[in-house]
Structure 1
């Protein structure tokens, strides 16, 4: 090896050694800084609330984990404060919730104050009702020809946050396709430790048009000039809250349903006893729910799961004897930037010797709706449903409308999302008393794309195009929200 080669070799080794030493020093410094940050805490001195003109502080404090005297890790304070802010927002009492720390440049061990600023909702809603009587907008539009006689109208009075304690009163007077009268009152907490809540509900409904059976996975209706069905339900529900995210519900419910003789002629299996047009029974229901979603109305992160057990028929005063187990789970992720994904699933098992049609619901009702099959019902005893969604957030903004006369309506939020989805489901029907129930006992799937608008007072507008494994393509619309 020549002298020049030796010199180059020494220089190369020196450069490599210097790079390794520098990298090690930088890594060590980064670890030390991380360790110092993880070991650095602030101490919460006090909580300051602003804008809760009606809401009591005890209701706010029930949602918070960071209280005076607690330590707050400097490295994670933004994440923890966002979590606290989301819990307050999910009470559904506020239009906006802001949270910050002062001073924001505090040193390790310093006392800090946590500030919360609220813009309360409008809590009194005497609302005029105009809603569809069918299962969803698409069924009403495509299968019922947008028939306006298949609508409900009336008045609903909603008083939220009664006494500033998040109590809720609802009174309903409804006419149209279904005549309905309802009373509901909810006490979020009935004990000093704010663990137990109570709900009371009673309702009466009357119909001339009723679905008496499903044929080819469509609901068939019977109509006459006289009343064909009357229902009266009453229930009391006890709620127990463990910590912040875990809930237990125990519900005792009484149901009384009468149908005209002609209904039993059309479908002898409508009730358990084909010779009795009055069915009465007690229900005992238990729910276990864990909810750690960031924003309940349109979650982007977090999870929710639940388990429900129902015993239909208690004691010797019930005309029904059945038992069901239902489970559900949801998981939401932020992938990167404005990309999000979610996965949700549900199942139900229903055991009975004789299932009346009045308890025959499988998929296609309420939230148990596979996308791409909005026009169908899949009745049966057991079902499984899995939904997958990929979302992209195009915008998320909030506009302050100064011209609005009421402060509670001046904040106008708007978020716009595009999404791709794929759903698959299965319904098991072993009793086989439905007519041409061709979508049961087979796997179903659908895929498509849609757009979502999330706006004022938790209203979500949805439009989508979907294609299912029956070879059908359709456009579907939906609107949901809370007051």
Structure 2
């Protein structure tokens, strides 16, 4: 009797699971890639959330059961756009027979070699250049970088840079994301050399102080780096990098700030070992609206001449929400901590550099060893359209515009702030404002923001990058 009951239970479970399997998914029998592209198929197929032979749950289809309206379409289309190899990606499903489908992926390549024309400000942002340095064109960098992000169709990057102007610079970069059959391991290397006739030699009252010579160079630097990457999944990437930096400064800089390289030295050699982990689970890596992102960086530097060292941990966590059809909310957290406290000037960059600043304080820097920032954005989509042109590599020009209101708060810690006369260190900074974000072809982003900070300083700020 027990054997009969066991047989009935097993038979019923088998029938139930079989029925659920037939009803639960559609079979992907074939995947084809069309359009104008030179990218190897394996590079494209690696980014998809499924493979040939997989089944897609019926719940992924829309209520009208139209295979061309799969929610999974947009999910995977954005994955392929994040490769930054294509201007347009379209996924179409073709019913074969029964529950079997063929997926057609149509892609349109970007420029094979992008001439990245450099017209950059020597200062930290446009407003500092325009206001504090009276839009002095001698503080402009002019150059060109020839960048191939898809060398030989393997998503390899090779770039050659030449730059004149405020900073004279030459460099070469090569990176290959995948060198193995499973497409998980990669490597890269870069070398750069630069020189300046003017540099910021110290910070005073939270402002950078500059010194220029028309006859002599104030700084020369050589940088070299090699790295290994491990990307086991779509969103997770590990990076291990070894870097070398040679610094040379003029005797005048060493005299005015003996702590620039430390102990009045005019030359220094720094060895740097960096580990970086990134989880990028957002919808669009260049301008995210939904999803989560975490970046953690452990950095160790050692100066060979003055035997100073620094270890730092830098973390970032972003969370993006879609509130309704056109409304979005974003929270961004950034923090850094480093030891020891006593460091050469070149190791003190803290709050106010690169992406790590409180909006509304673009004119200030807070040197030190630690900082924390929180940002809150409320966005509303105003425009999202595509312009079609009969021009190769410009067939589809996307234009997106978002209005936003935002608020920031942050703090930078400096043990020696009282000695340096920096009044914004070790105190809470906060600001709020509103603005417009514009995003278009080839990851071009423009941010126009009006901000009021806790000092009651009001300003209109222009940025050419993301937040």
TM-score by length of 1: 0.88
Please give the alpha-carbon distance, in whole angstroms, between the structure 2 residues aligned to 1:206 and 1:319.
Answer: 24
Quick one: which of 281, 288, 298 aligns to 2:270? 281
Q: How many residues align?
A: 439
CA offsets, 1:16-54, max 9 Å, x none? xxxxxxxxxxxxxxxxxxx98995310110111111521
Shift of 1:380: 1.0
- Counterpart residue number, 1:212: 201
Quick one: which of 111, 131, 156 aligns to 1:142? 131
- Counterpart residue number, 2:332: 344
Contact 1:213 1:434 in 2 (8 A): no
Kindly indicate whether residue 52 of structure 2 is the aligned counterpart of residue 63 of structure 1: no
Report the secondary structure of 2:323's partner residue.
strand
Shift of 1:479: 1.5
Kindly indicate whether residue 93 of structure 2 is the aligned counterpart of residue 101 of structure 1: yes
Report the secondary structure of 2:393's partner residue.
helix
Please give the alpha-carbon distance, in whole angstroms, between the structure 2 residues aligned to 1:240 and 1:425.
Answer: 33
Shift of 1:460: 1.1
Contact 1:281 1:319 in 2 (8 A): no
The equivalences for 1:222-301 within 5 A come to 222-224=211-213, 225-274=215-264, 276-301=265-290
Rate the CA distance shift 1:472–1:37 in 2: closer, same or farther, 3 A.
farther
Shift of 1:341: 0.5
Note the residue ranges of structure 2 that are not aligned, 5 or more in a row: 1-18, 62-69
Report the secondary structure of 2:464's partner residue.
strand
Report the secondary structure of 1:377's partner residue.
coil
Q: CA RMSD in A?
A: 1.9
CA offsets, 1:289-311, max 9 Å, x none? 10011111111111110111011
Shift of 1:100: 2.4
Contact 1:281 1:318 in 2 (8 A): no
The equivalences for 1:7-18 within 5 A come to none
Report the secondary structure of 1:59's partner residue.
helix
- Counterpart residue number, 1:8: none
Please give the alpha-carbon distance, in whole angstroms, between the structure 1 residues aligned to 2:205 and 2:252.
Answer: 22
Deviates more, 1:439-448 or 1:115-124: 115-124
Quick one: which of 74, 85, 91 aligns to 1:82? 74
Quick one: which of 156, 159, 184 aligns to 1:170? 159
Quick one: which of 28, 33, 53 aligns to 2:37? 53
Shift of 1:264: 1.6
Shift of 1:80: 2.5
CA offsets, 1:276-301, max 9 Å, x none? 21111211000011001111111111
The equivalences for 1:380-459 within 5 A come to 380-402=368-390, 404=391, 407-432=392-417, 435-459=420-444
Shift of 1:128: 3.7
Q: Which has the greater radius of gyration?
A: 1
- Counterpart residue number, 2:83: 91
- Counterpart residue number, 2:3: none
Quick one: which of 350, 355, 358 aligns to 1:370? 358
- Counterpart residue number, 1:29: none
Shift of 1:81: 2.7
TM-score by length of 2: 0.90
Report the secondary structure of 1:242's partner residue.
coil
- Counterpart residue number, 1:5: none
Structure 1 stretches of 4+ moved >6 Å: 35-38
Please give the alpha-carbon distance, in whole angstroms, between the structure 1 residues aligned to 2:419 and 2:237.
Answer: 37
Please give the alpha-carbon distance, in whole angstroms, between the structure 1 residues aligned to 2:23 and 2:272.
Answer: 53
Kindly indicate whether residue 318 of structure 2 is the aligned counterpart of residue 334 of structure 1: no
Kindly indicate whether residue 26 of structure 2 is the aligned counterpart of residue 42 of structure 1: yes
Report the secondary structure of 1:142's partner residue.
helix
Please give the alpha-carbon distance, in whole angstroms, between the structure 1 residues aligned to 2:445 and 2:163.
Answer: 24
Report the secondary structure of 1:465's partner residue.
strand
Shift of 1:192: 1.8
Shift of 1:113: 1.1
Please give the alpha-carbon distance, in whole angstroms, between the structure 2 residues aligned to 1:374 and 1:431.
Answer: 22
Rate the CA distance shift 1:301–1:423 in 2: closer, same or farther, 3 A.
same
Please give the alpha-carbon distance, in whole angstroms, between the structure 2 residues aligned to 1:378 and 1:306.
Answer: 22
Report the secondary structure of 1:287's partner residue.
strand
Shift of 1:433: 7.3
Rate the CA distance shift 1:229–1:264 in 2: closer, same or farther, 3 A.
same
Contact 2:263 2:306 in 1 (8 A): no
Contact 1:370 1:385 in 2 (8 A): yes
Report the secondary structure of 2:157's partner residue.
strand
Contact 1:37 1:74 in 2 (8 A): no
Rate the CA distance shift 1:144–1:408 in 2: closer, same or farther, 3 A.
same
Please give the alpha-carbon distance, in whole angstroms, between the structure 2 residues aligned to 1:470 and 1:358.
Answer: 28
Contact 1:281 1:320 in 2 (8 A): no
Shift of 1:193: 1.5
Kindly indicate whether residue 460 of structure 2 is the aligned counterpart of residue 475 of structure 1: yes
Shift of 1:62: 1.3
Note the residue ranges of structure 1 that are not aligned, 5 or more in a row: 1-34
